[in-house]
A and B are shown apart, each in its own frame.
Chain A
Amino acid sequence: MIGYTISRLLQAIPILILVSLMAFGIIYLIPGDAATVIGGPSATAEDLAQIRANLGLDQPLYMQIVTFYTNLFQGDLGRSLMLGIPVTEAIIQRSPITIGVAIYSLVITIVLGLVTGIIAALNHNRWIDQAATIFALIGVSLPNFWLALVLIVLFSVQLGWLPTGGYIPFTTDPWGWLRTTTLPALSLALLQAGLLTRITRSTMLEVLSQDYIRTARAKGLSEWVVVGKHALANVMMPVVTVLGLILSVLLSGSIVIESIFGVPGIGALLGNAISSRDYPMIQGGLLFVTAALLLLNIVVDVLYTWLDPRIRVGGGK
Chain B
Amino acid sequence: MQSRRLLSLLAPALAAGLLTSTSALAQAAFSCPQTGGDLIVGMEAGVPTLDQHTATSSATRNVAMNIFETLVIRDAAMTPTPDLAESIETSEDGLTYTFKLRDGISFHNGKPLTTADVVASFDRYKEVGVNRATLDVVEKWEATDDITFVITLKQAQPTFLESLSSYTVPIVILPAEEAAKPANQITPIGTGPFKFVEFVPDSHVRLERYDGYVANDTFGDLSGFAGHKQACVDTVTFRMLTEAGARMAALETGEVHIVENVPAISQERLAGTAGVEVVRLENFALNVAYPNWSAPPTDNALVRQAMLAALDMEEIMEAATDGAFKLNPSFQFPDTGYYSTAGEEFYNQADPEKARALLAEAGYTNEPIVLLTNQQFPNMYNSALVMAAQLQAAGMNAELRVLDWPTALATSEKETAGWNVFFTFWATVTAQGGPTSLRNLANPNNVYKPVNNEGDAAFNEAFARIQSGADLETRRAAFAEAQAIAFEQVMAIPFGIMQNAQGIRANVENYQPYYNTRVSNVWLEQ
Contacts and interface: CB of A to CB of B under 8 A. Distances in A.
Q: Do A and B bind each other?
A: yes
A268 interface: yes
Interface string A156-191: 110010011111000000000000000000000000
B409 interface: yes
Interface size class of A (residues with CB under 8 A): 35 or more
A153 B440 CA distance: 43
A51 B440 contact: no
A22 to B, nearest CB: 19
Nearest to A160: B253
A152 B413 contact: no
A243 interface: no
A45 B412 CA distance: 11
B404 interface: yes
Interface in A28-48: 30-33, 36-48
Interface in B205-263: 239-243, 245-246, 249-250, 252-253, 255
B153 to A, nearest CB: 19
B426 A42 contact: yes
Contact of B58 (A33, A40, A45, A264): A40
A39 to B, nearest CB: 5
B523 interface: no
Given A165-B250, A259-B243, A262-B240, A32 B169 contact: no
Contact of B440 (A38, A44, A166, A263): A44
B111 interface: no
Residue among B58, B200, B408 facing the most chain A CB atoms (10 A cut-off): B200
A44 B445 contact: yes
B202 A164 contact: no
B253 A47 contact: no
A199 interface: no
Interface stretch (B49-57, B143-151, B325-333, B362-370): B49-57
B378 interface: no
B49 A84 contact: yes
Nearest to B133: A46
A277 B202 CA distance: 15
Interface size class of B (residues with CB under 8 A): 35 or more
B427 A41 contact: yes
Contacts of B131: 47, 50
The SS class assigned to the A binding surface is helix
A116 interface: no
A269 B46 CA distance: 11
A63 B181 CA distance: 24
B130 interface: yes
Contacts of A39: 56, 130, 409
B185 A84 contact: yes
B70 to A, nearest CB: 18
Interface in A227-257: none
A262 B259 CA distance: 14
A46 B445 contact: yes
Contacts of A82: 48-49, 201
Contacts of B409: 32, 36, 39, 41
Interface in B443-457: 444-447
Contacts of B58: 40
A44 to B, nearest CB: 4
B407 A54 contact: no
8 contacts: A31-B410, A39-B56, A41-B377, A42-B425, A45-B445, A47-B131, A54-B54, A269-B201
Interface of A: 30-33, 36-48, 50-51, 54-55, 82-84, 90, 145, 148-149, 152-153, 156-157, 160, 163-167, 258-264, 268-269, 272, 275-277
Interface of B: 46, 48-49, 51, 54-58, 128-133, 168-169, 183-185, 200-204, 239-243, 245-246, 249-250, 252-253, 255, 377, 403-411, 413-415, 424-429, 439-440, 444-447
Given A38-B55, A54-B183, 6 more contacts: A39-B130, A42-B426, A45-B444, A51-B56, A55-B183, A167-B203
Shortest Cβ-Cβ A-B pairs, 3 listed: A32-B406, A84-B184, A264-B203
